[in-house]
């Protein structure tokens, strides 16, 4: 039992060091991208858009950018690690270890959560200079940040197992993850949309991650935070069950 416990910790450490050694690229670059979004959209729309009555557009935009950065980088961490290991042939060294499928799951998803949260904290610290934050319900911020990072880290694990080349991984990210993230209310309030597009937005699980996260800052949201929590929590259970099953049967990683 001790061997298994140490094993997944060792893999978690290895995966964390993998992105941290190139932190300028994996953490610094996403922070810079988020700041550029804030400067462009904030400057263009600050005087024209008011959200939730008294909340300025820049203040509204900050939580969305933080959460978007968390989600995208959590997905990128696990997906890039798996696909690189498969293509370079280094996956065999992990297969030779006595790790169970649960050990793989905890290590890959855990490191993705660490990277997502690290990037999110970086974005939050820098963007706080543009709009001093308020904290209406801090616990909701923590819960949705970790759940969102865990879901996208798990989705990245599934995508990495499914993909056999970088083109397939890019297709997964460009045609699924990116559109769902950008259409989830990062740059706008879903409540400002027409009824048809509000309904479409409510079918997007990413909307509930960002809306629940934003509730923690302002105490106001487009959907009930409890509904968001139920949907996000349920989504994580579903994708986790799929990922663990794929790891258990060795999907596309065992000959």
- Where do the domains of the chain lie? 23-249
Count Cβ atoms within 10 A of the Cβ of residue 4 and give its class: 0-12 exposed, 13-18 middle, 19 or more buried.
middle
Residue 2: pLDDT band with limits 50, 70, 90: very low
- The pLDDT score that the predictor gives to residue 64 is 92
CB 24 within 8 A of CB 119: no
Is residue 63 pLDDT above 60, yes or no?
A: yes
Angle, CA 140 vertex, CA 196 and CA 238 arms, to 5°: 65
Q: Which carries the bigger pLDDT value, residue 1 or residue 168?
A: 168
Give 121-175 pLDDT, tens digit per residue: 999 999 988 888 889 999 999 999 999 999 999 999 999 999 988 888 888 888 8
Whether the CA torsion 166, 167, 168, 170 is positive or negative: it is: positive
Residue 1's pLDDT band, with cuts at 50, 70 and 90, is very low
Angle at CA 39, nearest 5°, toward 38 and 41? 65
State the virtual CA torsion across 96, 102, 104, 107 in degrees, nearest 10. -130
pTM of the predicted model as reported, rounded to 2 decimal places: 0.92
For residue 211, is pLDDT > 60?
Answer: yes
């Amino acid at each position: 039992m001790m061997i298994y416990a140490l094993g997944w910790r060792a893999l978690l450490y290895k995966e964390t060091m993998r992105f941290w050694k190139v932190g300028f690229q994996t953490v610094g670059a996403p922070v810079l991208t988020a700041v550029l979004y804030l400067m462009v959209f904030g400057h263009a729309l600050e005087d024209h858009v008011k959200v939730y009555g008294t909340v300025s557009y820049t203040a509204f935009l900050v939580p969305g950018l933080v959460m978007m950065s968390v989600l995208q980088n959590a997905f990128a961490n696990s997906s890039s690690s798996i696909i690189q290991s498969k293509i370079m042939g280094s996956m065999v060294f992990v297969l030779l270890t006595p790790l169970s499928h649960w050990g793989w799951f905890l290590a890959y998803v855990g490191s993705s959560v660490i990277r997502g949260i690290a990037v999110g904290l970086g974005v939050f610290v820098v963007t706080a200079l543009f709009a001093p934050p308020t904290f209406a319900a801090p616990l909701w911020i923590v819960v949705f940040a970790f759940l969102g990072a865990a879901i996208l880290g798990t989705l990245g694990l599934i995508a990495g197992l499914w993909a056999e080349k970088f083109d397939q991984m890019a297709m997964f990210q460009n045609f699924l993850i990116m559109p769902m993230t950008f259409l989830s209310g990062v740059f706008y309030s879903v409540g400002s949309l027409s009824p048809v597009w509000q309904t479409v937005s409510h079918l997007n699980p990413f909307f509930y991650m960002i809306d629940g996260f934003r509730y923690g800052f302002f105490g106001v949201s487009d959907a009930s935070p409890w509904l968001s929590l139920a949907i996000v929590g349920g989504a994580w259970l579903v994708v986790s069950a799929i990922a663990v099953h794929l790891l258990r049967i060795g999907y596309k990683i065992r000959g």
